[in-house]
Chain A
Amino acid sequence: MTDTPRHTPARQRTGRPAISRAAEPVVKLLIRLAGWSAIAILAAIAVYLFLGGSRAIDEVGLFRMITGEFWYPTSKEPQFGFLPSEVGSLWVTLVGLSLSVPLGVATAVYISEFAGKRFKEVAKSVVEFMAAIPSVVLGLIGIALLVQNVRVWFGLDTGLTAFTAGIMVGVLALPTIVSISEDAMHAVPHELRLGSAALGNTRWQTTYKVVIPAASSGIFAAVILGMGRAIGETMVVLMLSGNAGVIPLSPFEPARTLPGTIANELGEVVRGGLHYSALFVMGLVLFVVTFLINLAADVVLERQRRRWRR
């Protein structure tokens, strides 16, 4: 028994200083706190928007602002109606979506159902590339290429209109719509396609009879997420929509938008004043609208995920 190798105790052999053992609960706590940070930040955003806007809510009233027709923040008897901005945002979003939804979904269908492997890979990286173009650059391109042309094409007084901004917002929403609806179609089990093909359907018949219905909720989520991007986009609308004061009756008029109004005016107002406070309420409205949109998209996507989980 004398030649039994002598072992040092396991604890010592790992050579682990006691200090790192003591640090473990601390690190674990930090990790847990970090995990909660998203909730904390989201709550803080809501709280600070509300605090900033509380004066306007008290003195003007939330409902009167949301439904008010006139935005005259600097006149002697100031009016803080959001309708011009809301209608402007609506036009921009409508134009943007009517451009990007058909184009985006069709592109996603092609990538997912028709394209070869090589094209698929290239297409996906181009879409990611597109999502990486900063919006201020899209605004710059819009100024250079669209503003003059829109004025001439439609015979308008100015090319800075909701339509002009809408086109670029469409470009901006496109990658979101393509990539999320492509994901949705990709998640449809391959067996469904094989079954459909076995019944004698062509690829296109399989696509619109089987794949698109099966992925419909994901495609819907893609559309509403694209809408969220379009509503919240700031720089493109600030640079291209014209930021006019009145309610635009058609997309071919200069329009102001919710994000554009905030970006345009917050820098120039008196801190703590009524105008300043009204801009925070506008931010709050924007926050709540996009929050609801994202919530809806998340619920829809979760349902889709559960449906095809195997």
Chain B
Amino acid sequence: MSRVVRARAAEKIAQLALGLCAVVALGSALALIGYIFYRGAGYVNWEFLTQPPRKAMTEGGIYPVIVGSVYLVVYTALFAVPLGVMAGIFLAEYAPRTRFTRMIRLSIANMAGVPSIVYGLFGFALFVIQIGLGRSILAGSLTLACLTLPVIITATEEALRQIPKDLRHASLALGATRLRTISRIVLPAAAPGIITGSILGLSRAAGETAPILFTAVAFFAPVATSVSDETMALPYHIFIMATQSTKDAPNMVWGSALVLVATVSLLNVFVAFWRSRQRRKVRW
């Protein structure tokens, strides 16, 4: 067999094998999501979303669980978005090229890799005990905010860096100060990138269990009314129903899983859609 023939055969085989790997990897992701829809679709209806659980959570709905998760995510956003956006502005617009800035970047990359259970321990030690918030929505969302912060900082910095220098120069040439240029020109232009990045970060936070395990959640709690309440939350509810519950609950738990996955998926699709539209619309 000549070298050329062999090389061509290898090319065919490689393409086939690699393509197969790609199909398996991507297909399994779709299969997993499909499986959740298949198992959960029968349980999700209006009553499931709006009623409290009955008969030791084997009947009824998951309304308090959903409310708890919404509380957690909203407060996480309140803490993490302003701080993260300001930190992103600092890195993109103000940070000097020094070793210290490099250290900040390193810390952000590292924060993204800290295991979520470690955030849980940290949040428990600092927010629950030291500050004395107790197991509460407040302590839980502060913990989740720490976890979400690096995502928001990175998204903000990236979005700001994509805004061309010309825009800044034009604004500065008209006599605007640097801060005013940022707040009136650069930030509005970068807003879509910042918002979509923040949504992605928050949707991850909505699915996290380990950080809220010791800081916010309870096996059963009534509908939360204040941020100092313990609460139920979707990921923890799924965990507890899947591992230590009665015979009937493991079926209903698929409904909760579907609600969580569908919400996270919808947010992701929305973000992907918005981003591609933005990319087509805005040409610098």
- Measured between beta carbons, the chain A residues less than 8 angstroms from B242 are 136, 139-140, 143, 239
CB < 8 Å: which of B90, B200, B208, B257 contacts A34? B90
Q: Is there an interface contact between A49 and B122, defined as CB atoms closer than 8 Å?
A: yes
Interface residue B7 (Cβ < 8 Å from any Cβ of A)? yes
Q: Which of B108-135 contact A (CB under 8 A)?
A: 108-122, 124-126, 129-130
Q: Which residue of B is nearest A23, CB measured?
A: B179
Q: How far is the CA of A107 from the CA of B29 in the complex (A)?
A: 13
- Measured between beta carbons, the chain A residues less than 8 angstroms from B238 are 136-137, 140
Interface residue B225 (Cβ < 8 Å from any Cβ of A)? no
- Measured between beta carbons, the chain A residues less than 8 angstroms from B146 are 41
Q: How far is the CA of A128 from the CA of B276 in the complex (A)?
A: 14
Q: How far is the CA of A251 from the CA of B18 in the complex (A)?
A: 28
Q: Mark A45-72, 1 if CB is under 8 A from B, else 0.
A: 1001101100000000000000000000
Q: Is there an interface contact between A49 and B118, defined as CB atoms closer than 8 Å?
A: yes
Smallest distance from the beta carbon of A287 to chain B beta carbons, Å?
5
Interface residue A204 (Cβ < 8 Å from any Cβ of B)? yes
Interface residue A90 (Cβ < 8 Å from any Cβ of B)? no
CB < 8 Å: which of B15, B112, B126 contacts A48? B126
CB < 8 Å: which of A28, A104, A232 contacts B25? A104
> Which of B32-40, B57-65, B162-170 binds A?
B32-40
CB < 8 Å: which of A28, A229, A232 contacts B179? A28
Q: How far is the CA of A139 from the CA of B95 in the complex (A)?
A: 42
Once A44-B122, A136-B207, A267-B214 are accepted as A-B contacts, the answer to whether A295 and B110 lie under 8 Å apart by CB is yes
Interface residue B97 (Cβ < 8 Å from any Cβ of A)? no
CB < 8 Å: which of B21, B253, B260, B264 contacts A103? B21
Q: Which of A276-295 contact B (CB under 8 A)?
A: 279-280, 283, 286-287, 290-291, 293-295
Q: Mark A121-163, 1 if CB is under 8 A from B, else 0.
A: 0010111111011111111110111000000000000000000
Q: Is there an interface contact between A128 and B17, defined as CB atoms closer than 8 Å?
A: no
CB < 8 Å: which of B84, B113, B118, B208 contacts A283? B118
Q: Is there an interface contact between B268 and A134, defined as CB atoms closer than 8 Å?
A: no
Q: Is there an interface contact between B117 and A286, defined as CB atoms closer than 8 Å?
A: yes
Q: How far is the CA of A2 from the CA of B115 in the complex (A)?
A: 75
Smallest distance from the beta carbon of A106 to chain B beta carbons, Å?
4
Q: Is there an interface contact between A140 and B253, defined as CB atoms closer than 8 Å?
A: yes
- Measured between beta carbons, the chain B residues less than 8 angstroms from A74 are none
Once A132-B265, A171-B32 are accepted as A-B contacts, the answer to whether A36 and B104 lie under 8 Å apart by CB is yes
Q: Is there an interface contact between B104 and A35, defined as CB atoms closer than 8 Å?
A: yes
Q: Is there an interface contact between A24 and B113, defined as CB atoms closer than 8 Å?
A: no
Which one of B14, B30, B117, B261 has the greatest number of beta carbons of chain A within 10 Å?
B117
Q: Which residue of B is nearest A203, CB measured?
A: B11
- Measured between beta carbons, the chain A residues less than 8 angstroms from B113 are 225, 228-229, 232, 290-291, 293-294, 297
Q: How far is the CA of A129 from the CA of B27 in the complex (A)?
A: 12
Q: Is there an interface contact between B268 and A37, defined as CB atoms closer than 8 Å?
A: no
CB < 8 Å: which of B17, B91, B104, B209 contacts A234? B209
* A/B interface sample: 13 pairs, CB < 8 A: A126-B30, A132-B204, A134-B209, A134-B260, A136-B238, A137-B36, A171-B32, A202-B8, A203-B11, A207-B14, A225-B113, A228-B113, A283-B122
A sample of 14 more A-B contacts (CB under 8 A), given A34-B83, A259-B117, A287-B114, is A36-B104, A38-B107, A44-B122, A132-B200, A134-B235, A134-B264, A204-B11, A228-B113, A232-B117, A235-B239, A283-B122, A286-B115, A286-B118, A293-B113
What 8 A-B pairs are tightest by C-beta distance, nearest first? Answer: A232-B115, A134-B207, A35-B90, A34-B86, A106-B21, A130-B29, A294-B113, A110-B18
